[in-house]
Structure 1
Amino acid sequence: MTTSVSPRRTAASEPSRGRHSGPAARNAPRIGSVGTAVTENSYTQRELIDRFRITDPKIRGVFLSGSIERRHLTLPPVGPDGTLVPEIQGELLAKHTRVGVEMGSRALLACLEGIGADLADVDYLCCVTTTGFLTPGLSARIIRHLGIDPSCHRADIVGMGCNAGLNALNGTAAWSAANPGRLAVMVCAEVCSAAYVFDNTMRTAVVNSLFGDGAAAIALIAPDSDTPDPDAPDRFASGPAAPAATPRILDFSSHIITDALDAMRYDWDDDQNRFSFYLDPEIPYVVGANAEQVVDRLLSRAGLRRSDIAHWLVHSGGKKVIDAVRVNLGLTRHDVRHTTGVLRDYGNLSSGSFLFSYDRLLREGAVRPGDYAVLMTMGPGSTIETALIQW
């Protein structure tokens, strides 16, 4: 079956209906570049059920549903009996620390390379994670690991789940706007293979079939008011990230579905003696039913309609979640092609998933000056986060 793609109106093809054209918008924080990283080893879903020796046909069916082909994971070693060695909570936290710092550092370096910057340029670092709790957090550990200036401003966003990337981007953009000309970087590092429970139940099977390890970093720069070209990040205008590839961050909109506060949660499992993630089977429909109001609120403040949006970068939360959002927002399968592509190739990467989709959009070369995009993430709370950007 072929999917028809309706033409999208953009500011490049007709006069913009948006309100973002004044001096404040021109000096809004811009996305300089994005960098991504994954762990070394990847596995197909069939390889995973064989490694975990899953024989239950229902659980095997969850893994082999077809929406995910491969995921990057950091599995425990195989013991003398040929089974994977069980990991206690302390070992999982150690894995989260080791892999999170390594992946996050590689993503950050790739991000800096995209704008021709180096570690000495980083003035603010925000690190996001949900797959482990550390004190001090990933920001301090990455600063030490890479040798970033210890006077770098930093923040850690912990425990907010898959929506946390946009929550943290909101705060990072605010810092950037308050410090024009200075480089702010946000890193999402999720070691989902350090946050699993295996007990042969359908509840844990859904979680174990879905998530993968990955990290993503995004660089923001707000142009100085004295910069001759307000459409370019001033310090790095001559770097690899050309001005046309640096969209402005225009607005954010958030919505907490308080009636579904416990529908997605990461809490302690007394039976397993470790943390365990829970997903309510109804969550795709709950998120889908609430998607319209938060998106329409975001767009109405800009004087835009959904038909004005050229690109949709939705969190790769799972096939049912993506379908529910797509149907409720009236999107085509083409609109969410990068969302489903990331899910297929990596699984759900939690807070950094939308940045993997953003990276694919740029590599596709489909963006034109004036295009609007909506970024959208969903997670515990239950929460929907959105952002509006424009090239």
Structure 2
Amino acid sequence: MDYVLTTILCSPLFYILYIILKFLDKKRHQNCYILDYQLYKPSDDRKLSTEFSGDIIRRNKNLGLNEYKFLLKAIVSSGIGEETYAPKMVFEGREENPTHEDAINEMEEFFEDGIGKLFHRTGIQPDNIDILVVNVSMLTSMPSLSGRIINRYKMREDVKTYNLSGMGCSASLISINLVQSIMKTNKNKLALVVTSECLSPNWYTGNDRSMILSNCLFRSGGCAMVLTNKPSLAYKSMFKLKVMVRTHHGSKDEAYGCCVQTEDTQGRVGFHLGKCLPKTATRAFVENLKEIAPKILPMRELLRFATLSFARKMLQKFLGKSFYPTRPMINFKTGIDHFCLHTGGKAVIDAVAQSLSLSQFDIEPARMTLHRFGNTSASSLWYVLGYMEAKKRLKKGDKLFMISFGAGFKCNSCLWEVVRDLEGEGNVWKDCNIENYPPKTLENPFLAKYGWIQDEDITTFKFPQED
């Protein structure tokens, strides 16, 4: 018996088999899954109604008549409804003088509601978490926000923490990419990713047009999610990460400066959105698609694209002039079932839809998310995902494409595979009467009240200087 065992152990075939099994086991543990996620819905007393939005504009005594008109036009065309949420200090009329406590309280409310509900629904205990990643771009504190979460939920002493700031609206995919990298070299881990934005200290009260625009789009929200690479939890998970691509154009001065937190001429801090933003976003978007397309599309589509590209070059050569196709030459729907688009604004959604040749059905989740929750920065993608889940669109084996943009300038995208049929249980969209979405006619309450300013001069609107 000993002789047989020794012979087997010394056999080259045994070592080859051992190496293969070791490799397969390693690959099995390198998969990254989303086990569950929880969206944050503030209380109803934080909703920004049409009337109150007008009141906020009226009480800003730093605005002139042209700025009022610009702001009202922006709200009318933003695609945002009147059920989005703002920080408490806005409702208390203190947006000109927010305190650090206002910012911390805004985050603490989300930590208590979002993370608490996630732990309760999954049955995971806080001391089970091995990795904690928090991304809130425009707030830093001491102790850090990740430290506050550890203290609140009494996590283990050896939990690995990462606190990301300044990453903008694409921060959640950066956080997931960080977790994915850690899990490639560490087996059987559970990671908690917390993504949000703090609006309390960043509500702009000046009159710079490039900065007051952010008040029309950004709203309160957040998402907490648990990721794992445990093979034993794979069948319980919701999504499996297939591909992640990150594009950064920060080396280009124009791209770097198109989205930046800065001070206006009066020293008021705000978020500047430059005129070159659309062009910058387009460049980053195109570069990102070039890299991710070969990784997610079937070979037949790539061959078709190569053939059309060659034919286009030949036409240009023989006709002696540029030839532009009327439709995109590559069909992303051949490898993707669902599109999860960042709700940066109505124009952003429409531009991406046109570039990818998407239907109204494809962009419905993004449009409805913008209408109901606004732009919640890095957490926006997950509200869009929540809409798809609540609508029971996500079936086992479906491929889901996420794409987001962020200051820097960045464009990040990834592809997920749906692990099991999803029913949207416990989803915040269930509380929004998801059956009524999309409405037959998407009424714009701001258009009904302030739409007249698009074609007329402001003559009847009551301004602060008239009081």
Match of 2:58 in 1: 53
After TM superposition, where is structure 1 displaced by more than 4 Å over at least 4 residues in a row? none
Structure 1 unaligned residues grouped into runs of 5+: 1-21
Match of 1:67 in 2: 79
Shift of 1:167: 0.9
2:158 to 138, 151, 168: 151
1:35 aligns to 2:29 (yes or no): no
Shift of 1:147: 2.4
1:194-343 alignment runs, 5 A limit: 194-224=201-231, 227=232, 232-233=233-234, 242-243=236-237, 246-257=238-249, 258=252, 259-269=254-264, 271-273=266-268, 275-304=269-298, 306-307=332-333, 308-343=335-370
Kindly provide the amino acid, as one letter, of the partner of residue 194 in structure 1. P
1:124 aligns to 2:124 (yes or no): no
**Is the 1:28–1:222 contact (alpha carbons within 8 Å) kept by the matching residues of 2?**
yes
Mapped to 2, the partners of 1:119 and 1:153 lie a distance apart of 13
Mapped to 2, the partners of 1:221 and 1:78 lie a distance apart of 39
Match of 1:19 in 2: none
Distance 1:176 1:66, change over 3 A: same
Distance 1:45 1:286, change over 3 A: farther
Match of 1:18 in 2: none
Per-residue CA distance 1:96-121 (angstroms, 9 max, x = gap): 22211220332222333443322222
| Aligned-residue CA RMSD (Å) | 2.4
Mapped to 1, the partners of 2:390 and 2:176 lie a distance apart of 21
Give the TM-score of the pair, scaled to structure 2: 0.69
Mapped to 1, the partners of 2:87 and 2:177 lie a distance apart of 30
Higher helix content, 1 or 2: 2
Higher strand content, 1 or 2: 1
Distance 1:358 1:372, change over 3 A: same
Structure 1 vs Structure 2: percent identity of aligned residues? 19
Shift of 1:279: 0.8
Shift of 1:181: 2.3
Mapped to 2, the partners of 1:117 and 1:57 lie a distance apart of 50
Match of 1:140 in 2: 147
Kindly provide the amino acid, as one letter, of the partner of residue 32 in structure 1. L
Structure 2 unaligned residues grouped into runs of 5+: 1-23, 60-64, 302-331, 419-467
Give the TM-score of the pair, scaled to structure 1: 0.82
1:164 aligns to 2:171 (yes or no): yes
Per-residue CA distance 1:274-295 (angstroms, 9 max, x = gap): x310112342343234423312
**Is the 1:101–1:138 contact (alpha carbons within 8 Å) kept by the matching residues of 2?**
no
| SS of residue in 1 equivalent to 2:191 | strand
Kindly provide the amino acid, as one letter, of the partner of residue 56 in structure 2. R
Mapped to 2, the partners of 1:26 and 1:200 lie a distance apart of 53
**Is the 2:29–2:229 contact (alpha carbons within 8 Å) kept by the matching residues of 1?**
no
Q: Which has the larger radius of gyration?
A: 2
Mapped to 2, the partners of 1:104 and 1:298 lie a distance apart of 34
Length, aligned pairs only: 348
Mapped to 2, the partners of 1:99 and 1:86 lie a distance apart of 13
Shift of 1:207: 0.9
**Is the 1:193–1:213 contact (alpha carbons within 8 Å) kept by the matching residues of 2?**
no
Distance 1:363 1:114, change over 3 A: farther
Shift of 1:270: 5.9
